[in-house]
């Protein structure tokens, strides 16, 4: 590791992070010392039905102008914040309160069979870290939720307070690149992550619940409609 002003640069792969990202640095060297290699998993909308719960809450408190079901909202907008009528300051304030609500996150429903398929994946490619845009304040609830549903025990890298939500996927891309080759790839639902990864990234992004062609062709992106396709696409370590 070399330090350049406010930046940490990994000697292994040349990727850089802000010096505030000491936890990611620690995890990288812990994995390296233990010769651990494996996958990273996202949590929201990849393991937990967060988006569904989000849409239900917004419809309950702020209305449903198009009278759409949860599935119809997802088909049309993918994420609730893409719906133009759900962008008021009042909704943003409600979202901020939910974002730090431990009880809300602990009660999130599981994406059907995600835990069982991840268990199979873990035997082929170990799950070594959960990389999430969730804040530190709900870390305990996140751990308890993962344990409740039987997901593999692994480190959790959460979004630091210095990273605002609009930049969370760019932050996640930097962390993912930094952790390579100890973390060989990631399962995540958000196509923006594919766009934020640099062309130098040599790992594999498994784009979950994605029904189109890969957003780009210069790095390894595997679109997967469901968890079964993720399992079938993996190359065992």
Q: What is the pLDDT of residues 98-128, one digit of tens each?
A: 999 999 999 999 999 999 999 999 999 999 9
Q: Which residue has the tokens 């035997």?
A: 123
User: Which regions of 136-219 does DSSP assign to beta strands (E)?
Assistant: 155-159, 183-188, 204-208
Question: Which tens digits make up the pLDDT trace of 158-167?
Answer: 999 999 988 9
Q: Report the SS3 class of residue 142.
A: helix
* Residue 1: band (very low, low, confident or very high) from pLDDT cuts 50, 70, 90: very low
Q: What DSSP character marks residue 157?
A: E
Residues in the chain: 237
Distance CA 22, CA 6 (A): 12
Is there a contact between 215 and 234 (Cβ–Cβ < 8 Å)?
A: no
8 pLDDT band, cuts 50/70/90, is very low
Instruction: Name, in order, each residue with C-beta under 8 angstroms of 218's C-beta and a sequence gap of 6 or more.
Output: 199
User: Domains (ranges, CATH) in the chain?
Assistant: 2-47+110-233 (3.40.50.1000), 51-106 (no CATH)
């Amino acid at each position: 590791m070399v330090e350049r002003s406010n930046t940490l640069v990994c000697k292994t792969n040349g990727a850089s992070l802000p010096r505030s990202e000491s936890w990611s640095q620690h995890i990288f060297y812990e994995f390296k010392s233990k010769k651990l290699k494996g996958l990273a998993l996202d949590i929201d909308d990849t393991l937990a039905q967060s988006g569904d719960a989000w849409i239900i809450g917004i419809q309950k408190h702020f209305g449903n102008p198009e009278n759409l079901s949860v599935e119809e909202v997802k088909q049309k907008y993918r994420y609730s914040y893409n719906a133009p009528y759900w962008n008021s300051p009042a909704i943003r304030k409600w979202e901020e309160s939910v974002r730090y609500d431990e009880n809300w996150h602990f009660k999130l429903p599981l994406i059907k069979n995600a835990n069982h398929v991840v268990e199979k994946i873990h035997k082929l490619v170990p799950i070594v870290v959960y990389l999430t845009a969730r804040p530190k304040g709900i870390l305990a609830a996140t751990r308890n939720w993962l344990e409740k549903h039987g997901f593999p025990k692994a480190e959790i890298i959460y979004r630091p307070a210095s990273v605002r939500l609009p930049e969370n996927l760019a932050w996640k891309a930097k962390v993912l690149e930094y952790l390579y080759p100890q973390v060989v790839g990631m399962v995540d639902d958000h196509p923006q992550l594919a766009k934020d990864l640099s062309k130098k990234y040599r790992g594999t992004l498994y784009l979950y619940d994605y029904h189109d062609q890969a957003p780009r062709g210069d790095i390894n992106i595997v679109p997967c409609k469901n968890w079964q396709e993720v399992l079938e696409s993996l190359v065992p370590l």
